[in-house]
Chains A and B, each alone.
Chain A
Amino acid sequence: MRAVDALMECLKAEGVDVVFGLPGGANLPTYDAFYDAGIRHILVRHEAGGGHAAEGYAKATGKVGVSLGTSGPGATNLITPICDAMMDSVPVVFLTGQVRTELLGTDGFQEADTIGITMPVVKHSFMIQHPLELPRSIHEAFHIARTGRPGPVVVDIPQDLSRADIPYEPVSDVHLPGYQPTTEGNQKQIRIAAKALANSHRPVIYAGGGVISGNAAVELTEFGLSDRFPVTCTVMGLGGFPAPHPQWLGMLGMHGTRTANYAMDEADLIIAIGARFDDRITGKLSEFAPRAKFIHIDVDPAEISKNVPAHIPIVGDAKNILPRLTAEYRALEADPGRLEEWWSRIRSWQERYPLTYADSTDTEIKPQYMVKALYEATGGDAIVTSDVGQHQMWTAQHYDFPAPRRWINSGGLGTMGFGLPAAMGAKIGCPDQTVVCIAGDGSVQMNMQELATCAQEGIAIKVFIMNNGYLGMVRQWQELFWDKRYSQVDMGQWPDFVKVAEAYGATGLRLTDKTTLVSDMKEAIATEGPVLVDVRVTREENTYPMIPAGKAARDMVG
């Protein structure tokens, strides 16, 4: 059979039920194979939309997402999703077309060195050099994408090779001698960690996206509840511990709660689980958690002691390690009374610094209220995607995520335009769940073309634009740190989002009244098909609290 037909067999063998892509010259053979392969293909309007949709699908389902583009510009349009997937450890296989082998290196039409361009931002990549390599490479790509610390894998397939006739036999094993992720944590280290916990008086559990991608939310919760451990999560880890909860401190970091950041600051022992001490968490590194010793659990050994030296490193899967740590800890029968003083300190912060904002007294919609209204309208039971900026932080702060894989955002790369296509992918992966996207009026315009895809395919996502007419987070920084010199942040009231929605064949709504917001949102969610809602909010509102960049937790403002 043709190599591309073998490719289809490989995708089916990997359990792929949907792919997101856009055809072009170099991947014409692949698209010919899709014609009757029986795999659902979503025709996106821009490859970046397809890449983010594959990410959204992967984040919502835990399965490997698949995204396709042709050679040259098709592949370069995928760079942002590839880099995004790398930064947030999302398992996605990107299949790119490439010019015929005889044209390689000649600056042929639509030729780009896809492998070279993507090399710094992939977990791994394969350049197919012989058609017989294709099936094995595809299986290896899926294996690498989903195991260990997940990530993006690119497979670049020259057009002529993809047409070649090959004998196909199913490949059942992968042979990657240089790739053997450690999943099982070292028992001795786990025991030392348990003892350290039993001897700490001011512990904090600091969990990140690894808990979500490692499917370890239940294990994290059980571990947290094995004593009265205070728990905080990064923006990537939200939903890893059920919020709200008496032991939940809220998110930490630049726009985290004062309680979470102050607890990190005063902790004597911090247990980091699937988190990577990003600068948005630590602030000024030399003043980060100055009193703490660190237990660091991560499946990627290179993360351990990368930014903050670990006292007790444990390499492996959180899902493997946490139950064993819980058991070891329980066996020690530590005195829960020793945490009494710590909790009274934490409670005093919680009382003194709740997440709050000055709500309007008229019909004006404050952005924070918009998030709370959406929480109410969805009953807190939706998959929520977001773009990047103020709306993302307000959602992370004010929408309590009770379970993992409900909160899908671009944390590491901070990709504007992520939310709408990610919602599209999430909805396809989880058709029975309500999928909403909280978007910024700036961000949403970066991948709004996918509304056409949603309309065509009947993908019923509900997009709520938090419209303040600004690139809000940049405006906030200009206000706070650049003497209010607003440089190129005013987006005005263009476009008319209601008309845009209608032009794309979606439902367009505009909401401006706080008093009816919850019921209007419920109505929008109940409306069939894709819906784009333009919610007009206070123009100049700041996301607080905030640790200014490069400052310490103690320097929080707002």
Chain B
Amino acid sequence: MTMGEPGTKEALSLEELEAAVGLRTGRKHILSILVENKPGVLTRIAGLFARRGFNIDTLAVGPTDDETVSRITLTLDGAVHPIDQVTKQLHKLINVLKIRDLEPEETLARELALFKISADGAARTEVMQVCEIFRAKIVDVTRRSVVIEVTGTYDKVDAFERLVRPFGLVEMARTGEIAISRGRGET
């Protein structure tokens, strides 16, 4: 948009003005939120999401290097939600200190998942091969089952699940992603 030099009378045409529409980005967003480590903070955030109709895909909460501060990492779908409205509403919470909408290419995101598979006999060898490819670990074995620990991005864990499900998935637990930015700068 041309607005001319500051303080000049150079014209600005109304036609040139564009609104910040298209606020739905259409991709997955990882929000890294630093909050004061106080009682009820998670409730405030969860309540805000429920009230405004925002749907959280995954949520992970944990301590940071500063004991007065916790980090909440949550992922949500930018195709469904206006992300800027989500972050602006979050910022209104007094206990929210900082929000980063992490850029995918500058972000390391990982989640931990545990899979219980009913693999015995020949199937077990195949499962172990899959584990090797995914650098997953078998952390518990019985005659009729194995428990596998896998870490990686959300998509990697998804892919792992698709591969092991046919062997007989008894149950699965996932933490939801946590994330940190690449490089020296703080997330």
Which chain A residues have a beta carbon within 8 Å of chain B's beta carbons?
115-116, 119-120, 123-124, 127, 129, 144, 176-179, 188, 191-192, 195-196, 198-200, 268-269, 293-294, 300-302, 305-306, 309-313, 331-333
Nearest residue, chain A, Cβ from B46: A119
Q: How far is the CA of A333 from the CA of B8 in the complex (A)?
A: 11
Q: Can you spell out 29 A-B residue pairs with CB atoms less than 8 angstroms apart?
A: A119-B40, A119-B44, A176-B94, A177-B36, A177-B97, A178-B36, A178-B94, A178-B97, A179-B94, A191-B6, A195-B4, A195-B10, A195-B12, A196-B12, A198-B9, A199-B11, A268-B14, A293-B19, A302-B88, A302-B89, A302-B92, A305-B19, A306-B85, A309-B23, A311-B17, A311-B18, A312-B17, A313-B20, A331-B7
Q: How far is the CA of A536 from the CA of B155 in the complex (A)?
A: 70
Interface string of B142-161 (1 = CB under 8 A from A): 00000000000000000000
A278 to B: closest C-beta gap in Å: 16
Nearest residue, chain B, Cβ from A124: B94
- The reply to whether the CB of B91 lies closer than 8 angstroms to some CB of chain A is yes
B20 contacts A310, CB within 8 Å?
Answer: yes
B95 contacts A195, CB within 8 Å?
Answer: no
Chain A residue numbers with a CB within 8 Å of B39 are: 127, 129
Instruction: With A195-B3, A302-B92 given, name 11 new contacts (CB 8 A).
Output: A127-B39, A127-B40, A129-B39, A177-B97, A195-B11, A301-B88, A305-B85, A309-B20, A310-B20, A311-B17, A313-B20
A199 contacts B97, CB within 8 Å?
Answer: no
Chain B residue numbers with a CB within 8 Å of A120 are: 47, 51
B17 to A: closest C-beta gap in Å: 4
Nearest residue, chain B, Cβ from A334: B9
Q: How far is the CA of A222 from the CA of B7 in the complex (A)?
A: 21
Chain A residue numbers with a CB within 8 Å of B57 are: none
Chain B residue numbers with a CB within 8 Å of A294 are: 19
B9 contacts A333, CB within 8 Å?
Answer: yes
- The reply to whether the CB of B171 lies closer than 8 angstroms to some CB of chain A is no
Chain A residue numbers with a CB within 8 Å of B19 are: 293-294, 305, 309-311
Chain A residue numbers with a CB within 8 Å of B56 are: none
Chain B residue numbers with a CB within 8 Å of A313 are: 20
Interface string of B29-61 (1 = CB under 8 A from A): 000000110011001100100010000000000
Q: How far is the CA of A294 from the CA of B19 in the complex (A)?
A: 8
Nearest residue, chain B, Cβ from A268: B14
Chain B residue numbers with a CB within 8 Å of A116 are: 43
Q: How far is the CA of A123 from the CA of B92 in the complex (A)?
A: 8
A505 to B: closest C-beta gap in Å: 43
Q: Which of B93-115 contact A (CB under 8 A)?
A: 93-97
Partner of B96, one of A123, A178, A269: A178
Q: How far is the CA of A310 from the CA of B88 in the complex (A)?
A: 15
A191 contacts B94, CB within 8 Å?
Answer: no
Q: How far is the CA of A350 from the CA of B89 in the complex (A)?
A: 40
Chain B residue numbers with a CB within 8 Å of A178 are: 35-36, 93-97
B76 to A: closest C-beta gap in Å: 17
Q: How far is the CA of A293 from the CA of B18 in the complex (A)?
A: 8
A155 to B: closest C-beta gap in Å: 13
Nearest residue, chain B, Cβ from A149: B92
Chain B residue numbers with a CB within 8 Å of A311 are: 17-19
Chain B residue numbers with a CB within 8 Å of A177 are: 36, 97
Given A116-B43, A191-B3, A200-B14, CB of A309 within 8 Å of CB of B21: yes
Chain A residue numbers with a CB within 8 Å of B44 are: 119
Name the residue in A120, A177, A310 with the highest tally of chain B Cβ atoms < 10 Å from its Cβ: A177
B94 contacts A199, CB within 8 Å?
Answer: no
Chain A residue numbers with a CB within 8 Å of B3 are: 191-192, 195
B21 contacts A332, CB within 8 Å?
Answer: no
Nearest residue, chain A, Cβ from B13: A199
- The reply to whether the CB of B126 lies closer than 8 angstroms to some CB of chain A is no
Q: How far is the CA of A124 from the CA of B41 in the complex (A)?
A: 11
- The reply to whether the CB of B132 lies closer than 8 angstroms to some CB of chain A is no
Q: How far is the CA of A289 from the CA of B17 in the complex (A)?
A: 16
A487 to B: closest C-beta gap in Å: 31
Partner of A305, one of B9, B23, B35, B93: B23
A424 to B: closest C-beta gap in Å: 31
Given A302-B85, A309-B20, A310-B20, CB of A192 within 8 Å of CB of B12: yes
Given A191-B3, A196-B12, A196-B17, CB of A144 within 8 Å of CB of B94: yes
Chain B residue numbers with a CB within 8 Å of A268 are: 14
Nearest residue, chain A, Cβ from B41: A178
A-B pairs, top 6 by smallest CB distance, nearest first, are A309-B19, A195-B12, A302-B88, A311-B17, A124-B94, A309-B21
Q: How far is the CA of A333 from the CA of B9 in the complex (A)?
A: 8
Chain A residue numbers with a CB within 8 Å of B4 are: 195
Q: How far is the CA of A509 from the CA of B23 in the complex (A)?
A: 57
Given A178-B36, A191-B7, CB of A302 within 8 Å of CB of B91: yes
B14 contacts A293, CB within 8 Å?
Answer: yes
Nearest residue, chain B, Cβ from A116: B43
Q: How far is the CA of A333 from the CA of B7 in the complex (A)?
A: 12
Chain B residue numbers with a CB within 8 Å of A200 are: 14
Q: How far is the CA of A115 from the CA of B17 in the complex (A)?
A: 44
B40 to A: closest C-beta gap in Å: 6
Partner of B92, one of A115, A300, A331: A300
Nearest residue, chain B, Cβ from A292: B14
A445 to B: closest C-beta gap in Å: 31
Q: How far is the CA of A98 from the CA of B40 in the complex (A)?
A: 17
A277 to B: closest C-beta gap in Å: 13
Q: How far is the CA of A120 from the CA of B92 in the complex (A)?
A: 12
Nearest residue, chain B, Cβ from A203: B14
Chain B residue numbers with a CB within 8 Å of A196 are: 12, 14, 17
Q: How far is the CA of A177 from the CA of B68 in the complex (A)?
A: 12
B94 contacts A119, CB within 8 Å?
Answer: no
Q: How far is the CA of A502 from the CA of B81 in the complex (A)?
A: 57
A450 to B: closest C-beta gap in Å: 31
Chain A residue numbers with a CB within 8 Å of B89 are: 302
Chain B residue numbers with a CB within 8 Å of A300 are: 92
Nearest residue, chain B, Cβ from A269: B14
Nearest residue, chain A, Cβ from B17: A311
A330 to B: closest C-beta gap in Å: 12
B94 to A: closest C-beta gap in Å: 4
Q: How far is the CA of A300 from the CA of B88 in the complex (A)?
A: 9
A473 to B: closest C-beta gap in Å: 27
Nearest residue, chain B, Cβ from A125: B40
B31 to A: closest C-beta gap in Å: 15
A307 to B: closest C-beta gap in Å: 10
A305 contacts B96, CB within 8 Å?
Answer: no
Chain B residue numbers with a CB within 8 Å of A119 are: 40, 43-44, 47
